[in-house]
Amino acid sequence: ESATQEILDEFRPYLCPFDSAFSDTMRIFELFLPVHLPLNLHEKGFKLWLPEFLGIWESIYSNPGWELNMVNLFSLLAWCNIGYIDWEPWLPRIFTRILKSFSLPVGKLQVSLQQYHYSMSSVTTWIVAMLGNGSSCLQHLQDLFTAIKNFYHPSNSGKFQQDLISFLSKLAQAFVDRVHLERKANPVWYFTPPDAYRLTEQNITDFVNCVKECAFIAIFTKAYLKEAAKACQYLSMLRPELIVPPLVEKLFSSIDSMSEPHRFTSIMTCLASLARQIVRQAPHFSQGQTYVLPLLMAVLPGIDSNDFKKTAVTFQFLNAILMLVTCVDCSSAIHTRNDLTEIEKEVCLSTAKFEDFVTEFLNRTFQMIDTLSTEMSDAVVVITKVNLEDHVTELALTSMMFGIVQQCSKKIFQTVREKITNFLAGSFFTPKVGKLVTGLVRAILKANPEETLKYLLPQTCERIENIMSHSETTILTDHKGDTELTWCLILFSELVRARGDTLLIYKPIILSVFHRCVRIVHKDTHEAVANAAKNLLKSLSYVYPLEYRLTVENIEEPFTDFLPIRAWGQ
């Protein structure tokens, strides 16, 4: 009980702002002063030192290093004692100090950066802890954002922007943390604010309305886009109905305006982080599901072989959505179920476009692959290392394709499989482009190995055998190699990644390929054979899950027992 007094008695004599020991003392106070005490011990705890420390903080404006320790201490104290400290008289001075800490330029006068910056985590935690029960803290926060709003604009770039956007993100995160802790089914022992000080639904709505405008501006800041997107993500967890519709509208308007391509990529990056809030049915917001198919169709033009960044962002967004939804045509459910809401009926009817989306997506992907094939000659590809852009595109395409086929209807899978096998038939690709193609094969192979192998493995083995039969005497010792044979063996090495039990029935033709090709001396071709052997051994010795779907329910028609759209995002 007397720990606080003993610590103060020991170190209070060192509290002289002109003594170098002051910094060490404040660091010790930050580390050891008890801030989380029962209500009956508050008189022997923070009430012994808080007024004095606030007075010291108010009187010093020279930005000493120990000020950071003091702010960290105030922040932790406020978080651990929500509702037990009256911060109201100090709010104007607290927010003035926070504004000063941003070191914002005034007119044409560039304010010198402060040597020591407040921790944004501490500042935002302090602010969030002071909200609630009629406190004017939210009004002060609104005034702060009014003062700094223009500095979030992309044209006002400077070192201060990092702190401003970090402030947004961490503020939203701290608020989500507080809401989560206050509303947990099983409360935690260290977080027990009085009921009167807990955040109400209106408090949450007011907070989101206070922060969202600056968050919407911040997403167009190139350097800190991810941090701004994170802020929007946290806000959408609190009130998706206030965040998702405006951003979707901004995306549709940016698609129509080709003069500002940066807006498209910024909004897409932001929406990718909001994917779960868009696709799931929430108690107060299920409208987001109506945006899914229009968004999927609208962003397809973003797949552009001439613009890597745009393509990467499009893949990122599509991947985020497709990992959370089942690609199933649920339109027949409106005739078989009588418990659907109007929004659910609209969503069910829109899912009839899933097959059109998948077809158009594959067409654009094939077009991109063909374009890359013609742009890159074989000679150039051989000496070009696979760079980061190629690797990112390959991973994104594979992940996205798997997102579609792992939880789609049998009809849509058959469409995907037919289009990919038709695209592969009689074609061969250079190593760079081939990685994109094998990524597609890997996805459908993982989702349905039996059907994929049935239509691809025998044909691939036959192509290899035919090439070897026509030129076996020269091809084994030819260091220049055969491009078509190399491609076929790369595809073969991908196909033997399939689940081990599904490969057993093809044992004779697989072994035949190895016997014919293992002695080839061409580097890339021999490497493909080696990879095939490695993949085959892994497949035969690994343990595999039989299903990768997000739901174990039957997603095929009729939908009398289970409606797939209700499982989106769960």
What does the H/E/C string look like for 442-453? HHHHHHCHHHHH
Assign 199 a pLDDT band (cuts: 50, 70, 90): very high
- The CA-CA-CA angle for residues 53, 54, 56, to 5°, reads 65
d(Cα 336, Cα 558) in Å, to the nearest integer?
7
Query: What pLDDT, on a 0 to 100 scale, did the predictor assign at position 463?
Result: 93
pLDDT for 472 beyond 70: no
Any residues with CB less than 8 A from the CB of 46 and at least 6 apart, and which? 4, 33, 35, 37, 77, 81, 85
pLDDT for the residue numbered 111: 61
The per-residue pLDDT for 395 is: 87
- pLDDT band of residue 112 (cuts 50, 70, 90) is low
pLDDT score, position 249: 94
Tokens at residue 348, please? 């069910």
**Residues 6+ away with beta carbon under 8 Å from 85:** 46, 50, 77, 78
**Percent of the chain, pLDDT > 70?**
95
What would the DSSP string read from start to end of 395-413?
HHHHHHHHHHHTTB-HHHH
In this model, does residue 398 exceed pLDDT 50? yes
- Whether residue 350 has pLDDT greater than 80: yes
Residue corresponding to tokens 């808080």: 50
Angle at 323 between CA 317 and CA 327, to 5 degrees: 105
Looking at the predicted structure, is the pLDDT value of residue 388 above 80? no
Average pLDDT over the chain, rounded to an integer = 89
Alpha-carbon distance of 312 to 159, in angstroms, equals: 28
CB atoms within 10 A of CB 133: 17
- Please tell me whether residue 282 adopts helix, strand or coil conformation: strand
Check whether 408 has a pLDDT greater than 50: yes
Least confident among 111-120, 210-219, 341-350, 391-400: 111-120
Residue carrying the six token digits 């003392």: 25
Q: What is the pLDDT of residue 543?
A: 87
pLDDT at 381 over 50: no
Distance of alpha carbon 411 from alpha carbon 455, whole angstroms: 16
d(CA 128, CA 349): 43
How far is the C-alpha of 437 from the C-alpha of 546, rounded, in Å?
Answer: 24
Name the residue with higher pLDDT: 190 or 76.
76
Residue 560, pLDDT > 90, answer no
Q: Give residue 473's pLDDT.
A: 62
Q: How many helices (H) and strands (E) does the chain have?
A: 27, 0
d(CA 297, CA 316): 15
Residue type, 172: A
pLDDT of residue 382: 43
Contact 558, 332 (CB under 8 A): yes
Q: What is the pLDDT of residue 16?
A: 86
Domain-by-domain residue ranges, the chain? 408-541
C-alpha–C-alpha distance, residues 304 and 28, integer Å: 57
User: What pLDDT does 470 receive?
Assistant: 82
CB 304 within 8 A of CB 311: yes
* pLDDT at position 219: 94
On whether the pTM is more than 0.75, the answer is yes
Closest alpha carbon to 437 in 383, 365, 378, 388: 365
The first and second tokens of residue 290, run together, are 């109506």
The whole-number pLDDT of residue 387 equals 61
Predicted confidence (pLDDT) per residue in 154-185, tens digit: 888 888 899 999 999 999 999 999 999 999 87
Distances, alpha carbon 149 to alpha carbons 211, 215, 236, 331, in Å: 10, 10, 20, 45
Q: How far apart are CA 567 and CA 474, in angstroms?
A: 57
Q: In this predicted model, which residue has the larger pLDDT, 372 or 507?
A: 507
Separation of alpha carbons 49 and 64, rounded Å: 20
Judged by DSSP in three states, 285 sits in strand
- Asked which of 34-48, 371-385, 447-461 is least confident by mean pLDDT, the reply is 371-385
pLDDT at 110 over 70: no
Least confident of 169-173, 358-362, 413-417, 432-436: 432-436
